[in-house]
Amino acid sequence: MKLIIHGGFFSESDQSHEVKTAKQNSLKEIAAKSFDFLKNHSAEETVVYAVSLLEDDALFNAGTGSQIQSDGKIRMSASLMNGQNQKFSGVINIENVKNPIEVAQILMKEDDRVLGGNGAKIYASENGFEDFSTEIPQRRKEYEEKLKNGGKGTVGCVALDQYGKLAAATSTGGKGFEIVGRISDSATVAGNYGNQHCAVSCTGVGEDIVSNATAAKIVTRVTDGMSIKDAFQRTFLELKEIDGFAGAIAIDQNGNIFHQDSHPTMVFASYDGEQFEIFE
């Protein structure tokens, strides 16, 4: 069993020692809780659990603490990929729900498994998800300053369960002040993808990740026999050609964990039941 999570990149306002320490401590705690959960649950269930904990933590830009778009509203996206059965589900630009990843999880049972905008919200309401504002005062202050004067962040988890099955989940609160209707990579196979050989979750600039098809490329290359390290290096070289900004976490079928970023520092933590690795 293996597990790795990420909490996006540091923003310019996150560089203080206090914020860094808080994120390290939070990621370590969430990784430990999620690994304990993994002992008795599937990879799919675990990545949803881990990402929901990340969504609930206002330190990260997903769920509570999501960025505010140019019209003053928060719209979030999240997706779930089951590597075993190759099912993908997601919500795009959903508003006023506490945990978008949990809506994506419910969508796994549907034929129509990716919903956007108002349709996603209606579906969530019909399935018992109550209205919930994910805005925090810090985000409103940042938004007001942008208005007066004129971020990057996502969370994710990849898990390998005791049966050798892989899953990946990714959730984002957007980049902040984006054009209404903008779609991130997080609810696409460019940002969140997996199969029986490898699973990947990305963070960074969504447009760059989509242009590079980052997660799908890494998984395909591992499937075709490339090592996870070589698959990352090849894909990130191609990302560099477009001056792309991204980071990714992954686990392959053999339990090898890998992570890489194009612009330090992606915040992440991995745990295998014995040893933690946490960003520095």
Residue 95 CA to residue 141 CA, distance in Å, equals 20
Phi, psi dihedrals of residue 250, rounded to the nearest 5°: -160, 160
Residue 163 CA to residue 196 CA, distance in Å, equals 11
User: Which residue shows structure tokens 């209606």?
Assistant: 122
Contact 129, 173 (CB under 8 A): no
| Catalytic residue, candidates 154, 188, 203, 235 | 154
**Residue 170 a catalytic site member:** no
Residue 127 CA to residue 125 CA, distance in Å, equals 5
Residue 167 CA to residue 192 CA, distance in Å, equals 10
Contact 73, 85 (CB under 8 A): no
Angle between helices 214-223 and 228-241 (to 10 degrees): 140
Nearest-5° angle of CA 188, CA 190, CA 195? Answer: 90
171: closest CA among 99, 120, 95, 113?
99
For 31, residues 6+ apart whose C-beta sits below 8 A from its C-beta are: 3, 4, 5, 50, 269, 270, 271, 276
Catalytic residues: 154
